[in-house]
Structure 1
Amino acid sequence: MADTPLAWWRRQGLRFRLTMVAACVLAAALAVAAVALLTVLDRALIGTVDRAIEQHAQQVRVKADTGRLPAPIVTNDGTIVQVLDKDGRITDVTYGADRLVPLLNAAARERALRGGGAVDLDGRPYAISGPLRVVAVSADHGRTVLAARSIGEIAQSLQVAVNVLYVGTPVLLVLLAAASWIIVGRTLRPIDALRRGAAEITHTARSRRLPVPQAHDEVNALATTLNDMLARLEEAEQRQRALVSDAAHELRSPVASIRLQLEVALGHPEGADWQETAEGALEDTLRLSRLAEDLLALARLDERGGRPGRREPVDLDEVVRQSVERYGEAHLAFCDPVVVRGDALDLSRVLTNLLDNAVRHTSTKVEVVLTADGVLTVTDDGPGIPAEDRERVFDRFTRLDSGRSRDEGGAGLGLAIVRETVKAHGGRVHLEDARPGLRVVVELRPVR
């Protein structure tokens, strides 16, 4: 089955298509310009002839009205003049003009006098090659002055112009098409450089960037945008690699602990305390479970690209009340009704992580406050966090020295999950000094 012209056109390169479109537009423009030029030139030349024969006719009319008309009538530019009496007989003419047959018959003279302009006339019956332009002017005593001039030279001039355009226009079109081909090629050269640069970027050269052209144009903006995208992809890959490495490290410790406890118990079954061994293995298994849940939560946040799982109205005060009720050490000091838009499960996880951290480090109690403007604070009276570490603790797998023991629990993912979740809900979170202790401040945007 033969391809359609549209399918063939779509298979052509961008340079070819742009050049062809430019050539077609130029061809149309040149054709219109040529027609306009010939039309204007024709009208200008004919107008010049009309004004000249009109002037001659008026001069003859004046001389005829004053009785000073010479015989024969003299013109210096080849204009033919006939003076007719009221009966249509020729009384005066220029040298060589027909003295018997008027240039215009009675009906044509009447139309020319009413129209007031020049009319076309075939000059061959009067032994004149080419067409004539004739003007009729009324004189005294019913006389009529006819003035005519051949426009064969104008036709020849126009034919010369047509021949020049007929030859010159295709040549000009070819030159302009060649120039368009070169210009389009130079314009697309940076894009080809981008293509080659993208082809050279592999898994072994991830840090390479695409070449950015010097011109501040759309290609420059495209190259800059693509380089920014590559930087984000490289950063995401590095974060993923770091996450995998840290997760493997965190998983290795409880797995190794479980293996060691079981190997010792199986190696010395007569002296093993199976109750203690089971409790230790369960503790490490719970730690593995918490780590797997945290990793799954982070993976879901990354997969959604910084957006909540749902965007529906959530009674934040109810989420806070339900979360606080599960902790005996937590005290809900103040709780205003607040409605936010997001995912209730994700927000509940934020409260759970914050309360787990606060309860783990508090000395006496944990205080929770929710105000009507969407500000949630969780305050403990524990040792707190130094000011220089309050931003670093939001990084993944970051634990301070006081929280590195296995007994303290956690793998350094709790606050990372909190920040990513709050950010996905359009809020922000930061740490403050409670003196004593630490205050976590979560700011969410309530629904008005």
Structure 2
Amino acid sequence: MSRLFGSVRARATLGASLVVALALVAAGAAVLLALRANLTDQADGRADSAARDVASQLVAGRPFADLDLPDEDDSPVQVLDEQGRLVAASDDLERISGTGTGAVKPVGAAPARSGAEDRSDGEEDRDDRDDKGDASEAGEASEAGEAAELGEIDEDAEYSSGSATVDGESADYRFAAVEVSTEKRGDFTVYAGGSLADEQSATSTALTSMLIGFPLLLAVVAGVTWLVTRRALRPVAAITAEMAAITASEDLARRVPEPDTHDEIARLARTTNETLTALQTSVERQRRFVADASHELRSPIASLRTQLEVGAAHPELLDVDGAVEDTVRLQELAADLLLLARLDAGEKPGEGRVDLAAFVREELSQRTRDRVDVHTELKSVEVAGSRGQLARVLGNLLNNAQRHARSRVTVSTRRDGAWAVLEVSDDGSGVPESERERIFERFVRLDDARTRDEGGAGLGLAIARDVAVRHGGTLVVCEAPSGGALFELRLPCPQSSAE
């Protein structure tokens, strides 16, 4: 199970399904609530209409027994007086709840009759009176008095939910309670019910449809998401397979396939190939470095061994000075290789403050074997960094200038805005413009005829540039005013000093 949900495809499918499920549940609940509220409002309207119809009859003075009540199945009705007694109710009403009283039979009054029966009885009475000739003025005055009874119906109704059993059938209703005030018979409350059968039927149908449709829709969403994610992640599977093959074969020349798209996966493939290219370049550079280092170490070691073997066999022939010189070269080469290894490992320079003018004077005072004189043009400027590494840069630049200068080497320091500048120039033949970047590569010598005894191993300028970069600066070469080479080292001034 954990392996299954460790897949991006499975997590995407599950996430999409959960989001859609939550959306469907929320939408379904909103639809059901809106449907139920709408149908409940309709039931309230029917109940209110029925209650006001009965209330208007009470205001007109119609007797309780002659009230024209709605059909019982559609709207059960109760009429309560001021004391809460039931004075009129729908026929066949057996049980009721949610109104002002649970009584179903009027107190002290005959059961209410339907409007048709009232009209039939009225016609029979009038026929009897006509037959007997008793249409007197007193009777007409009585009828006119009842019709003229005044009253008031409250404009606001109160609603409640309940149930009722009529003629053996139970159902749920919304009851409207309407207050009625009459001058002669007092106040009444009319309760009339609106059936909730339509609301219950519609809600049940909608809920059933949702329970059937939502799972099917979720299954479709999950299936589509699974297929789409599978298609989208197919390039990732190809990249993964190719990377596994590269790891197994250790062939850094291989590249992962790049899809013909402009999405994140295509950018991932391109970035992966760029990383492989950088890794291949780094590995090849390391291999060349190891090979070149082995080649450079072989010469002084072989020379030193030869001298020692000759000295062991013939002490009088031992070249002590040559052995010492080879040992020094071997020591310097080992130190250069160690510094390059530390720089490649990302060693950060220190945070010490160095005054370049005082630093250059001190370093020059310790040099005793320079071939030509060194002239200085020094202005005080401070930098932050490793004094030992900066000393190696200055020493390498001076050694390079001494090898190529004819009669003069110049060292200067100055400030240029937020930069501290150290320049070392000579009056030699200079560096061709096409070779000004190549000389900073490791183990590179422009003069292939020059012997190792006359020069270094080709690491000095490479070390100088690496140290400059680690200090946040730059090292470039250009033409000196005297026609030779001018090496310019730029280092950032400390923040407080720059301000």
Superposed counterparts of 1:7-406, under 5 Å: 9=2, 12-14=5-7, 15-62=9-56, 65=59, 72-73=68-69, 78-81=74-77, 90=87, 104-105=99-100, 116-124=157-165, 127-141=168-182, 142-202=187-247, 203-258=249-304, 274-275=317-318, 277-304=319-346, 307-327=347-367, 329-331=372-374, 333-373=376-416, 374-401=420-447, 404-406=450-452
TM-score (norm 1): 0.82
Amino acid of the structure 2 residue aligned with 1:167: I
Task: Give the letter for the 2:344 counterpart.
Answer: D
Give the letter aligned to residue 248 of structure 1.
S
Structure 2 Cα separation of the partners of residues 442 and 100 of structure 1: 105
Q: What are the superposed Cα offsets for residues 322-361 of structure 1, whole Å, 9 maximum, x if unpaired? A: 1111236454533233322221111010011111111222
Give the alignment's TM-score, normalised by structure 2: 0.74
Contact 1:50–1:118, Cα closer than 8 Å, also in 2? yes
Q: Which moved more, 1:354-363 or 1:253-262?
A: 253-262
- Measured in 1, the distance between the counterparts of 2:376 and 2:408 equals 11
Q: Quote the Cα distance in structure 2 between the aligned partners of 1:12 and 1:103.
A: 53
Secondary structure at 2:492's aligned position in 1?
coil
CA shift in 2, pair 1:150/1:403, >3 Å: same
Q: Quick one: which amino acid aligns to residue 290 of structure 2? A: V
CA distance in 1, matches of 2:427, 2:163: 116
Residues 101/162 of structure 1: CA separation in 2 closer, same or farther (3 Å cut): closer
Distance 1:234 1:311, change over 3 A: farther
Are 2:171 and 2:195, in contact at CA under 8 Å, matched by a contact in 1? yes
Distance verdict in 2 for CA 1:403–1:68, change over 3 Å: farther
The 3-state SS of whatever aligns with 1:376 is strand
Contact 2:161 2:174 in 1 (8 A): yes
In the TM superposition, residue 42 of structure 1 has moved relative to its aligned partner by: 1.6
Letter in 2 for 1:116: A
Unaligned runs of 5+ in 1: 1-7
Between 1:316-325 and 1:407-416, the stretch displaced more is: 316-325
Separation in structure 2 between the aligned mates of residue 42 and residue 100 of structure 1, nearest angstrom: 25
RMSD: 3.7
Measured against aligned partners, the alpha-carbon deviations of 1:79-99 in whole angstroms (never above 9, x if no partner) come to 4455666675646x77x5759
Using the TM superposition, give the Cα deviation of residue 154 of structure 1 relative to its aligned residue in structure 2, in angstroms: 2.3
Report how far residue 266 of structure 1 moved.
8.1
Give the conservation status (yes or no) of the 8 Å contact 2:252–2:279.
no
Q: Residue 364 of structure 2 aligns to which amino acid in structure 1? A: V
Deviation, 1:421, is 0.7
- Aligned counterpart, 2:493: 446
Say if 1:61 and 1:99 are closer, same or farther in 2 by CA, change over 3 A: farther
Cα-to-partner distance string for 1:237-294 (whole Å, 9 max, x where unaligned): 1111111222233233334445566677889x5xx9715x443344333333322222
Q: Deviations over 1:151-177 (max 9, x none)?
A: 134223323333333333333333333
Counterpart amino acid of residue 160 in structure 2 = V
State the 1:9 CA deviation.
4.1
SS of aligned partner of 1:147: strand
Secondary structure class of the residue paired with 1:162: helix
SS at match of 1:123: strand
**Matched residue, 1:5:** none
Query: In the alignment, residue 139 of structure 1 is paired with which amino acid?
Result: V
How far, CA to CA, are the matches of 1:130 and 1:166 in structure 2?
Answer: 25
Structure 1 residue 412 displacement after superposition: 1.2
222-231 vs 250-259, which deviates more?
A: 250-259
Q: 1:342 to 1:60 in 2, by over 3 A?
A: same
Give a deviation string over 1:355-375, Cα, whole Å, max 9, x none. Answer: 111122222232211113410
Question: 1:234: how far off?
Answer: 0.7
Query: How far, CA to CA, are the matches of 2:97 and 2:406 in structure 1?
Result: 130
Task: Tell me the CA shift for residue 420 of structure 1.
Answer: 0.8
Normalized per residue, the structure richer in helix is: 1
Indicate conservation of the 8 Å contact 2:4/2:10, yes or no: no
Distance 1:29 1:77 in 2: 40
SS at match of 2:226: helix
For residues 362-405 of structure 1, give each alpha carbon's deviation from its aligned partner in whole angstroms, at most 9, with x where no partner exists: 22232211113410011222222222222221111111227722
Structure 2 contact 98–161 (Cα < 8 Å) conserved: no
Correspondences of 1:419-434 after superposition (within 5 Å)? 419-434=465-480
Tell me, yes or no, if the aligned pair for 2:95 and 2:166 is still in contact at 8 Å: no
Give the secondary structure class of the aligned counterpart of 1:379.
strand
| Paired letter, 2:360 | V
Do the aligned residues in 2 keep the contact of 1:90 with 1:102 (CA within 8 Å)? no
Conserved 8 A contact 2:442-2:458: yes
The separation in 1 between residues aligned to 2:237 and 2:448, in whole angstroms, is 56
Deviation at 1:62, TM superposition (A): 4.5
Q: Give deviations 1:289-334, integer Å, cap 9, x for gaps.
A: 3222222221221111xx5342333333332221111236454533
| Distance in 1 separating the partners of 2:470 and 2:74 | 93
Distance in 2 (CA, whole Å) between partners of 1:421 and 1:98 is 103
